[in-house]
Structure 1
Amino acid sequence: MQGKTVVVTGATSGIGEVAALELAGKGARIVFIARDRNRGEVTLAKLNATAPGLSHKVHYADLTLLAEMKRVAAEIAASEPRVDVLINNAGAAFAQRQVTADGFELTFALNHLSYFVITAGLRERLLGSAPARIVSTSSAAHRGMNIDLDDLQSAKNYSSIKAYGRSKLENILFTRELARRLQGAGVTANCLHPGFVATRFGHESGGVLQQLLKAVQIFAITPEKGAETIVYLAASPDVAGINGEYFIKNQIAKPSSAARDGAMAAALWRKTAELTGVDWPEPAAPVLRAASQ
């Protein structure tokens, strides 16, 4: 990872912070997005202590707001000549249904839209840095879930577990369609289930969900263990040519049938592009030339 720049969301705690520190230890320069300034400065200090002299950088943004997603992506694209790896890791679950200023359900906005908008905003930097990689944190919580394109905001029947599970299914479908659009571009997109990890995840969700998540963490794996697959997908030469897959414990795994639905992946992409006003264009069709006689 010497000389490479890695952009990370969700890097101020848990598996995101561990992955950022481990990649920095391998020589990568880390550029990360944080919402909380105090936590951002703490993580930046850890990075500088782990790998000094690499000019690690933090950008501040609220990734539940569309304008903030677009702003911070544009700032990074303007200030970084290259992005070798993008790690989409920001995410949360919320006990009660909440709607952002943009009219989006909060889980959907943070867990799905931020992945889509940040990735699209860094498109030119990723393509210009090829070979480059996009790594997105999903979850086994996607199993048993389905996407209702007419109710992406969970307005009909909100459940924190279902909203979170659907967002993780959306992460896999996003990866699937993104990988299709990246064919031949020298950039790969893969996603992963990190395992059930003992982190701050859900500690601000509120209500019974918050208490439940705290209680069951005695059965969880460490953030160090949970970050292993993120680091593997970001840095290992073993996956340099792999595109559009879902990983568990550094191995390709088979997600649910709903997560393998290419038509739904394309439909979700189109709907998300409409909602956000950003896109990653279709790959150019190959030019067919007549065979010489």
Structure 2
Amino acid sequence: MSIQTAIVTGANSGMGLATTIELAKQGYQVIMACRSEKRGQEALHRALHQSGSSRIELMLCDLGSLDSIRQFARRFREQHDQLDVLVNNAGVVMIKRKETSDGFEQSIGINHLGHFLLTLLLIEPLKAAKQGRIVNVSSGAYKVGKIHFDDPHFHKGYNPIKGYAQSKLANVYFTRSLARRLAGTSVTANCLHPGAVGTSIGVNRSTGFGTRIMAFASKLPFFLTPEEGARTAIYLATSPDVAGVTGQYFYQQKQEQLKPHALDDAAAEQLWTWSEEQVGLQPDERL
């Protein structure tokens, strides 16, 4: 039986690391897609030790850089013929408005556009798998989200809640649009709300601002551990119960009905077209 391969983005800490360890324990070959070489290597050692597996590797990928994403996808396709699981886990909450290297507001740039491009560049190896699975980590914050098509990068009136909620609704729209485009193939796409998890998502990528706040918050009794928060992602990545399920939203390993505005297929298609333009998708890369 051939070894199944998984990619986990944002795998150097929190739910990404927990997901990596559990998938490795289940026998998957796991590629940890991380932005930082130093933090990635530290996490790789932890993952190897805690999983007892030797089938984990680190590959650098900065979801805030279209060039880095393209390099990662190219390297992966050169080394692997198929991809069984893609867990789009990485995410940020930006207290102050900042831009990616490509000029995107970071919440929509990293949480949505980065994963949008990465996923589309990996569609062929996903199709080559017996049953490829795309798992997008969204959030219940989608419920208060709106895609601000007039100013999606918030050049005016930015606030963290508005930016994060927009990006999480984008994850839901992306999942549903993906599922429609992949209908009739062996690839499924689902998204999830992990619950309130104490991770480093609110920590500034450059300055480390917020580290103490998040460390304190993670100890509050209503916060889940990263391991608890990762359970639904692992369920969607591995369970035979959802082998044929696609285009759905899950919480606590159960399918949930989306709010009406998240079912707006016209808005989802508008977001898809905008996203293709933003990331410079080439004709042969489109679904």
Q: Provide the TM-score with structure 1 as the length reference.
A: 0.90
Aligned length: 281
Map of 1:52 onto structure 2? 53
Shift of residue 234, structure 1, vs aligned partner = 0.3
Instruction: Assess if the C-alpha contact under 8 Å between 1:89 and 1:137 holds in 2.
Output: yes
Counterpart of 1:188 in structure 2: which amino acid? T
- Say whether 1:266 aligns with 2:251: no
- Say whether 1:226 aligns with 2:224: no
How far, CA to CA, are the matches of 1:185 and 1:166 in structure 2?
Answer: 29
Shift of residue 46, structure 1, vs aligned partner = 2.9
- Say whether 1:278 aligns with 2:281: yes
Map of 1:91 onto structure 2? 91
3-state DSSP of counterpart to 2:104: coil
Shift of residue 150, structure 1, vs aligned partner = 2.1
3-state DSSP of counterpart to 2:154: coil
How far, CA to CA, are the matches of 2:39 and 2:239 in structure 1?
Answer: 29
3-state DSSP of counterpart to 1:189: strand
Identity of aligned residues (%): 39
Map of 1:291 onto structure 2? none
| Cα 1:264/1:130, change in 2 over 3 Å | farther
How far, CA to CA, are the matches of 1:169 and 1:221 in structure 2?
Answer: 22
How far, CA to CA, are the matches of 1:115 and 1:216 in structure 2?
Answer: 27
Which of structures 1 and 2 has the bigger CA Rg? 1
3-state DSSP of counterpart to 1:143: helix
Q: Provide the TM-score with structure 2 as the length reference.
A: 0.92
- State the 4+ residue runs in structure 1 displaced beyond 3 angstroms: 205-217, 279-282
Instruction: Assess if the C-alpha contact under 8 Å between 1:188 and 1:242 holds in 2.
Output: yes
| Cα 1:211/1:17, change in 2 over 3 Å | closer
Counterpart of 1:251 in structure 2: which amino acid? K
**Superposition map of 1:183-194 within 5 A:** 183-194=183-194
Instruction: Assess if the C-alpha contact under 8 Å between 1:74 and 1:122 holds in 2.
Output: no
- Say whether 1:41 aligns with 2:41: yes
| Cα 1:207/1:253, change in 2 over 3 Å | same
How far, CA to CA, are the matches of 2:94 and 2:163 in structure 1?
Answer: 9
How far, CA to CA, are the matches of 1:18 and 1:175 in structure 2?
Answer: 22
Task: Choose which of 228, 232, 240 in structure 1 pairs with 2:243.
Answer: 240
Q: Does 142-151 or 20-29 show the bigger shift?
A: 142-151
- Say whether 1:121 aligns with 2:124: no
Map of 1:138 onto structure 2? 138
How far, CA to CA, are the matches of 2:210 and 2:153 in structure 1?
Answer: 19
How far, CA to CA, are the matches of 1:203 and 1:268 in structure 2?
Answer: 27
Counterpart of 2:262 in structure 1: which amino acid? A
Where in structure 2 are there 5+ consecutive unaligned residues?
A: none
How far, CA to CA, are the matches of 2:187 and 2:214 in structure 1?
Answer: 36
How far, CA to CA, are the matches of 1:116 and 1:21 in structure 2?
Answer: 24
Cα-to-partner distance string for 1:112-138 (whole Å, 9 max, x where unaligned)? 011101101111101111311000100
Shift of residue 67, structure 1, vs aligned partner = 1.1
Shift of residue 102, structure 1, vs aligned partner = 1.4
How far, CA to CA, are the matches of 2:180 and 2:135 in structure 1?
Answer: 15
3-state DSSP of counterpart to 1:63: coil
- Say whether 1:101 aligns with 2:101: yes
Map of 2:19 onto structure 1? 19
| Cα 1:264/1:45, change in 2 over 3 Å | same
Map of 2:10 onto structure 1? 10
Counterpart of 1:202 in structure 2: which amino acid? G
How far, CA to CA, are the matches of 1:274 and 1:202 in structure 2?
Answer: 28
Instruction: Assess if the C-alpha contact under 8 Å between 1:132 and 1:186 holds in 2.
Output: yes
Q: Does 170-179 or 28-37 show the bigger shift?
A: 28-37
How far, CA to CA, are the matches of 1:146 and 1:231 in structure 2?
Answer: 28
Where in structure 1 are there 5+ consecutive unaligned residues?
A: 283-293
Map of 1:290 onto structure 2? none
How far, CA to CA, are the matches of 2:39 and 2:18 in structure 1?
Answer: 14
Shift of residue 163, structure 1, vs aligned partner = 0.3
Instruction: Assess if the C-alpha contact under 8 Å between 1:93 and 1:164 holds in 2.
Output: yes
How far, CA to CA, are the matches of 2:2 and 2:194 in structure 1?
Answer: 25
Q: RMSD across aligned C-alpha pairs, in angstroms?
A: 2.0
Q: Does 5-14 or 92-101 show the bigger shift?
A: 92-101
Instruction: Assess if the C-alpha contact under 8 Å between 1:130 and 1:185 holds in 2.
Output: no
Map of 1:152 onto structure 2? 152
